[in-house]
Each structure stands twice: as C-alpha cells, then as structure tokens.
Amino acid sequence: MSAIYLFFLSLPFAPMLEPHLPALQVVVPLLAAPVCVLLRDAKLSWLWALIVTWISFAIALVLLGKTLSTGLIIYEMGNWPAPWGIEYRIDAANAVVLVIVTAIAAVTLPYAKASVEREVPRPRIYLFYLMYMLCMTGLLGITTTADAFNLFVFLEISSLSSYVLISLGQSRRALTASYRYLIMGTLGATFYIIGVGMMYMMTGSLNMADLATLLPAVDHTRTVLAAFAFVVVGLGLKVAMFPLHTWLPNAYAFAPSAVTVFLASTATKVAIYALLRLVFTVFGGTALFDTTGINLMLIILGIVGMFAGAFVAIFQNDVKRMLAFSSVSQVGYMVLGMGMATAAGVAGSIVHLFNHAVMKGVAFMAVGAMFYVIGSVKLNDLAGIGKRMPVTTAVFLVSGLSLIGTPLTVGFISKWQLVVAALDAGWWYIAAGILLSSLLAIAYVWRVVEVAYLKAPPEGSTGRTEAPLSMLVPMIVLAAATVWYGIDGNTTLDIATHAANALMQSVAGGRP
C-alpha cells in the first residue's frame, strides 16, 4: 500500500494535489455527477462515471498508503481550523472504508453498463449514473468527515440518491420498497441529528475529536444519555441492525441488479463505520460506555440478527431476497464484533466489512447476470442454471462458500478472527453461536446449489448462454479477490488491526 503512495509522490502533479487529496476524494464525484445531465447520453455518461469512479479509487488507494505510512491525515476545509471549521480526518479506519466504497464502485460500473441497459429505460440511464455518483459522494463524505453534523448531510445525500436508485427497479414493488426505505431512512437520519443536537447543547461542539474530549465531563447528564441512544438507534437503522432491518430485504430485492451490488457492498458498510466511529471515538471515553451496557446490547442484537437473518433466508424463493436476508445476518457478525469492544473484535468487524463487501458483491453480480440472461431469479426458474451458465454459477458458488465461511475464502478469515476474539475474551458461547449460524448459511446456499446443479434445465432452453463479457469480468475479478484474500488473510487483517486501534484510541484504558 505504501508503495502506491510513493509511486503517487513521484508523479509530476503530485505536489500540487497531495495536500488536497482528502477533499478531492469527495469533491471530484460531487462535481462530476451533474455533468451527466449535460451529457444526456447513456453511453457517454457511463464512460464519464467510469472515469470518475476509477479516479476516486486511485485517490482512495493513495490515501490508504499515506495513512499507513505517515499516520493520521487532517484536512481543514477552507483553512478554518477545527472546532470552528469542518475538518476531514483520515486514519487507517476510514481509509479502509474509502477503498472498499471506491473499489466496489469502480468494479461495479463496467458490470452496470449491460445490466442497466436491460433494466432501466434508456432515457433515464444518464440519471442512473448521476445518482450513482451522488450516492458514492455521500458514502465517501460520511467516511472522511470528522464533523458530526457534516456526517448527517452526507448521510442524506447518499440516502436520497439510493432511494432514487432503488425506485428505478423494473417491478412496481421497487417503488414501495423505495418508499418504505425513505420513511425508515429519514427517521434514522432525523434520530441521528436529534442526538447530535443534544451533544451540541451540552458541549457546544460538533467536531468529533473535540466532542470526545468534552463529553466525558458531562456524561452524567440525561441529555448526553439521550443523545447516545438517539445516535445509536438512528445509525442502527441505516446499518440494518437486527430489529431495524425491515427496509433492507425488499430494497435490495427489487432494486436494479447493479444498484443491489453497489448498495449491498457499500451502504451498510459505511453505516457500520459511522456507528463504530460514533460509539468508539466520540463516546468511547465516556462512562456511558460502561453504564448503559451498550456492549451487551450490541452482542445480543448481533447474535439474534445473525440467526434470524440466516433463518429467514432459508425460506426465500427469490435468490436476491435470500441474499438480502443473508446480508442482515452478516451485518449481525459486524455488530457482534463491535459489541465485543476489544481491539480483536473490532478488527474482526472491520475485516468483515471488507470481506463481506467483496463476497456479497460477487453473489449479487452473479444473480444479476442470471437475471440478465433468463429474466428471473426465482429458485424455480434457475433449474439447471449450472449447465446453462457454468461460469456465473461457479462464481456464485465461490461467494456462497465464502458466506458459509469455508477455508480459503474471505468468509473464513473474518469468522476466524471473530471466533478468536470471542475466545480471547472468554465468551465461548459467542464462538459457538458464530459456528452454528454458519450452518444456517449452508442451508440457504445449498438450496441454490441444489437447484442449479442437480436439477435438469427446463426443456427448450438453449444450451450455454453466459452474460456479456463486461458483466463476467468484474464478477470474476471480485471472485478472485474472494479467494486471494481468503488465502492471504494477513494483508487485510493487518490493516483491520491498524484500523481497530485507530478507532479504539479514545476508549478509556482499553478494554479487556
């Protein structure tokens, strides 16, 4: 990673750009998005979005390299010093999330071209890419900002654009799914600003680092307690933490395939990051952390979510919906790691952010390709798909194995890390829970595998028909990453450990 940073420094334009990279990360896609309206053309706006997302990806890689070699990056917007001005702070934790978001965005775009042309009416395609870039801007903004209110603004940018993206789905159910997400998402975001307002009342600051130092002095007040509750519930809604997950399955199931790939791999991940940041960096130093029993709450909700999501997934007949419920279950693992509140547990959470983004991206891409070719992703219609689309099905199988947590896939690395973290802390029953819920994952993955490989294709189906190469290649790239980072888990685990340490800095005295 630091090699990328050094390479960047050797470029001729580096000295001019280098100090402004944190701002450029957000500003480039923000300013690039409206250009789509001027282009109006489906192909041109796709190409434009492709260029912009790959530039963003490059910026994110350089930023990660820089934080790993030089540490915390602080960028003052408009040279106004914090806490008066808005500050962007990039440490190992958000640099990782930046890379996840931009990498998935960059890999999804080549895939999106064919898929979107099939699923979105042509005159609206340029709007699709406009919203896609705005959504990415919002997610990147949430990740870079160190200002609690600024986070809300970016949260709404990403949410509003994702409501539009979801509503572009073909079925009319996409409209109601988007509407319900809008109601829930707005409630969540509003809860979050109520919490921020209460923190501001007590401290007079919105800067996260500043809040972290000011809050412990007033943490006995009911206002701060209420603020904590509002923030956790508000962000919990965006995370799709177990009882607050009801918007997620339909939103993912009825959105256009490319949108599902992008949102499933990034949106909940960024929300998890925001929750980690608020809970550990902002409230980490307060006594609330101990008195409210937030750890235990997160652990219980995480475990219930793990089981409930996987259990419901088994009974789904629509594969997209099945994978959406599987996401609820996988979010449970991340919440669980967060609840352990140990450096190892949080590292497990963060490594699962990356790993789940990769493997769920693969799974939804494969399902999207099946939808592209046979026009349905109902289990009944997928009979014999293993013979009709061997590559796509094989790719799906890789991600399915990873969802279960088979060794040599990324899913194994994160589950291993979580199990080790649980055992280290002496919670053997949590470790047992992680293993048991993996068994449920076997059940739902098996249902697809059984239909795909053991059933004969319907009569009259025409031999082998794969999705176009533009969809296959991104899929294979991500599937390769699933295996690569499953074999070489050290790279990602190292970075995740850095990230966990950065997040846990203000947690008083470290936790057992």
Partner 1 sequence: MQGIVDAFAPLYAMWQSFEAFMAGPGSPGLLGYWIVVVLMMTGFYIVIAHDNLVKKIVGLNVFQVSVFLFYILMAKVSGGTAPILADGIEKYANPLPHVLILTAIVVGVATTALGLALVVRIRNAYDTIEDDEIQAVEEEEDT
| Residues of this chain that bind partner 1 (CB under 8 A) | 149, 152-153, 156, 160, 163-164, 167, 172-173, 175-176, 178-179, 182-183, 186-187, 189-190, 193-194, 197, 200-201
C-beta closer to partner 1: residue 45 or 162:
162
Nearer to partner 1, 172 or 463 (CB): 172
Residue 247: partners with Cβ closer than 8 Å, 6 or more residues away: 177, 180, 181, 184, 185, 237, 240
User: What is the spatial distance between Cα 497 and Cα 38, in angstroms, rounded to a whole number?
Assistant: 44
* Per-residue tokens: 86: 């808005």
- Of the two residues 4 and 77, which places its CB atom closer to partner 1 in the complex? 77
User: What are the distances in angstroms from CA 294 to CA 147, 160, 216, 229, 300?
Assistant: 23, 30, 16, 10, 10
Nearer to partner 1, 174 or 294 (CB): 174
- Which residues does 105 contact at the CB level (< 8 Å), separation at least 6? 53, 56, 57, 132, 136, 262, 266
* Least distance (Å) between residue 205 CB and partner 1: 10
Residue 51 one-letter amino acid = I
In Å, how far from its chain's centre is CA 178? 18
Using the minimum distance from each CB to partner 1, give the nearer residue, 187 or 420: 187
3-state SS, residue 459: coil
**Residue with Cβ nearer partner 1 (201 or 296):** 201
Q: Which is nearer to partner 1, 41 or 381 (CB)?
A: 381
Residue given tokens 């967060």 in the structure block: 338
Name the CA radius of gyration of the chain, rounded. Answer: 22
Residue for token digits 């994702």? 162
Q: Around Cβ 429, how many Cβ atoms within 10 Å?
A: 10
Preceding omega of 256 cis (within 30 degrees of 0): no
Question: CB 61: neighbour CB atoms within 10 A?
Answer: 20
Pick the closer one to partner 1 by CB: 129 or 154.
154
Q: Nearest distance from residue 97's CB to partner 1, in Å?
A: 23
| Cβ closest to partner 1, residue 104 vs residue 189 | 189
HSE on the CB side for 18, CA within 13 Å?
A: 14
Nearest to partner 1 of 190, 292 (CB atom) = 190
CA distances from 484 to 207, 241, 356, 364, 400 (A): 39, 29, 14, 19, 16
Nearer to partner 1, 187 or 480 (CB): 187
Helices (H), 341-468: 343-374, 385-388, 390-404, 410-424, 428-449
Minimum CB separation of residue 479 from partner 1 in Å reads: 31
| Percent of the chain as helix, strand, coil, to the nearest 5 | 80, 5, 15
- The residue (of 317 and 491) whose beta carbon lies closer to partner 1 is 317
Q: What is the dihedral of CA 277, 283, 288, 293, to 10 degrees?
A: 10
Q: Which is nearer to partner 1, 263 or 434 (CB)?
A: 263
Question: What whole-number distance in Å separates Cα of residue 464 and Cα of residue 152?
Answer: 48
Smallest distance, partner 1 to C-beta of residue 176, A: 6
Q: Please state the closest distance from residue 250 (CB atom) to partner 1, in A.
A: 9
Cα first-last separation, the chain? 31
DSSP class per residue in 305-351: HHHHHHHHHHT-SBHHHHHHHHHHHHHHHHHHHHHH-SHHHHHHHHH
Instruction: Give the pairing of strands 73-76 and 87-90.
Output: antiparallel
